[in-house]
Amino acid sequence: MKYRTLILCLTIFTALSTLLYWILVCTKVFPLTEIVPGYLVWFNSFPLADLWIVITSVFLAVAIKIDRKCLIIISGLLTASAMIYFVLNALLFGINTGTIFMTGMGTFLKIYRLFVGIFFIKQFSEQVYILYKNNNQGCLYVAP
């Protein structure tokens, strides 16, 4: 798989940076303020979604380390779709509330997740195509 080392590094960074972000928020290093009505309620609805990104990232890192192509593809697409979903949700919230151009650590994470999510979708979709093209029924086999 192309970019294997880069994907592994991005995956580990995704998991660790997401955990660190929530640790900094929960310890009030990054204090939260009600910048628009409902912001804190919206913001506090994300820990479980972010935990899902961490879990799928860990699955992806383990799959890469044990070199299981099918698990790599599945966990890679799961991680990518979770990251892109997060960004799209935040984008619509920002548009609806006028906070779209506010900057900070959260902005970095959104931009990072958008680009890495797109990169992962491209890479793992290519892997699905390669398996399909080569008629490899290893993980694409559907029982009759």
| 63-117 tens-digit pLDDT | 999 988 889 999 999 999 999 999 998 888 888 888 777 767 678 888 899 999 9
Most confident stretch, 7-11, 33-37, 68-72, 96-100: 7-11
In this prediction, residue 144 carries a pLDDT of 53
Going by pLDDT thresholds of 50, 70 and 90, the confidence category of residue 23 is: very high
**Amino acid code (one letter) for 63:** A
Q: How far apart are CA 139 and CA 132, in angstroms?
A: 10
pLDDT > 90: what percent of the chain? 47
Q: What is the pTM of this model?
A: 0.83
Neighbours of 59 (CB within 10 A): 19
DSSP 78-102: HHHHHHHHHHHHHHHHHHHHT-TT-
Higher pLDDT, 119 or 42: 119
Going from N- to C-terminal start, the domains of the chain cover 4-133
Q: What are the tokens at 12?
A: 């580990």
Please compute the mean of the pLDDT values over residues 52-66 and round it to a whole number. Answer: 95
